[in-house]
Amino acid sequence: MMTELLDKLKTETVLDRDGYLSLIRNRAQIREYAAGLAGTVRDEVYGKKIFIRGLIEFTNYCKNNCSYCGIRAGNDKADRYRLTPEEITGCADSGYELGFRTFVLQGGEDAYFGDDILVPLIKDIKARHPDCALTLSVGERSYESYRRLYEAGADRYLLRHETVNREHYGMLHPGGMSWDNRMQCLRNLKEIGFQTGAGFMVGSPGQTDEDLADELLFLKELKPEMVGIGPFIPHKDTPFADRPAGTAELTLFLLSLIRLTLPDVLLPATTALATVDPKGRELAIEGGANVLMPNLSPVNVRGKYLLYDDKICTGEEAAQCIECLKTRVEKTGCEIVTDRGDHIDRKVRN
Ligand code: SAH
């Protein structure tokens, strides 16, 4: 019964809400079957290639107060830092030598990095590495700002919607943030032309199975080029310090459902997943993921970009990370490639 439902999802690439809900509720029996199907679909679309993105966490200043996040404005124990544009381009240069062809600039919502700083920085990175893609993940900005960043040469943008449920969003984001604005930002990014990434945390406080079924329906409708999901992990200096973490088991199952629902999607095995399960990245790849995002930030700041407790790989150099990942990926029968790794519909940007 449940395997038939998965076969139906593979063929039709969508189920109704009850269908997703029963898969989620009965996943214990079908986890391996789901992973196998999703791995096959990934192979059909992208082959056994795993794309790598060099993550540059360039500022941990943030004006927002998300209840789950360790770099929330209200956490006065966070040790704040900002990289200079020269340090950021230096990270990209060394990443290029290691085979990275996508760089991801991620940070808190830091007013210091206005368009006046980001636009020349994007142009500089793209001029130094014209064969590379540049991804931004710097939160909510105006339509005009997104347009300027795109015109400066940024190719992709990651903005997790965090939850499809408006009330749940309000519980996770006290203060000035709004679900409607988050969703509008995603639509704006797509309209401007970015390859756009949405996503959510698995097991965030207050999340229900129904919410997860709605996540899958929402993703099917939005059709983002990328989807980032990872388990919620508590951070000791946040309001959610005592809440339980999301599980690797549920995250892995949802990754497979996302691959079956959006066969073409670029789907990372996230650091948060690897933090809750040492085998998380390998299992995610076996279950349909095809992206890894190792850290390229300078080692002296890595221990400061702490969204959650016990984050892995905060002490290693990028070169060590890539060697470790190559070994892990080979064990799954896949292979890390030196490639921009664009979405299959978007190989050529016009
Ligand atoms: N400021 C940017 C980047 C956010 S950090 C933005 O708003 O998009 C990237 C992602 O980390 C967030 O979207 C969130 O889903 C995730 N994250 C934050 N805190 C987390 C936690 N405690 N556990 C797991 N993931 C977390």
Query: Does the beta carbon of 146 lie inside 6 Å of ligand 1?
Result: no
pTM value is: 0.98
**345 assigned to some structural domain:** no
**349 assigned to some structural domain:** no
How many whole angstroms from 307 Cα to the centroid of ligand 1? 7
Tokens of 215: 């996540």
Query: Does the beta carbon of 160 lie inside 6 Å of ligand 1?
Result: yes
Query: Does the beta carbon of 292 lie inside 6 Å of ligand 1?
Result: no
**28 assigned to some structural domain:** yes
Enumerate the H helices of 129-208 as residue ranges. Answer: 143-151, 166-172, 179-192
Question: Got the DSSP string for 136-147?
Answer: EE-----HHHHH
Question: Got the DSSP string for 239-252?
Answer: TTTTSPPPPHHHHH
Query: Does the beta carbon of 159 lie inside 6 Å of ligand 1?
Result: yes
Neighbours of 122 (CB within 10 A): 22
For the CA of 68, the closest atom of ligand 1 is 22
Positions in the chain short of pLDDT 70: 347-350
Query: Does the beta carbon of 108 lie inside 6 Å of ligand 1?
Result: yes
- Number of structural domains (the chain) is 1
Query: Is there a contact between 301 and 87 (Cβ–Cβ < 8 Å)?
Result: no
Q: Which of 329, 297, 337 is nearest to 314 (CA)?
A: 297
Query: Does the beta carbon of 274 lie inside 6 Å of ligand 1?
Result: no
pLDDT in tens, 301-332: 999 999 999 999 999 999 999 999 999 999 99
- What is the CATH classification number for the domain harbouring 173? 3.20.20.70
Which amino acid residue places its CA nearest to atom 24 of ligand 1?
A: 232
**344 assigned to some structural domain:** no
To which residue do tokens 């029968």 refer? 333
For the CA of 272, the closest atom of ligand 1 is 24
Query: Does the beta carbon of 230 lie inside 6 Å of ligand 1?
Result: yes
Query: Does the beta carbon of 329 lie inside 6 Å of ligand 1?
Result: no
Query: Half-sphere exposure of residue 223, counting CA atoms within 13 Å on the CB side?
Result: 9
Query: Does the beta carbon of 69 lie inside 6 Å of ligand 1?
Result: yes
Structural domain for 268, as ranges: 2-337
Strand extents, DSSP E, the chain: 49-52, 54-59, 102-107, 133-137, 156-158, 195-202, 226-231, 268-269, 291-292, 335-337
**60 assigned to some structural domain:** yes
* Rounded CA separation 153/119 (Å): 8
How many whole angstroms from 157 Cα to the centroid of ligand 1? 14
Which amino acid residue places its CA nearest to atom 11 of ligand 1?
A: 307
**346 assigned to some structural domain:** no
**154 assigned to some structural domain:** yes
pLDDT for 347 equals 67
**49 assigned to some structural domain:** yes
CA distances from 127 to 194, 226, 340 (A): 19, 25, 16
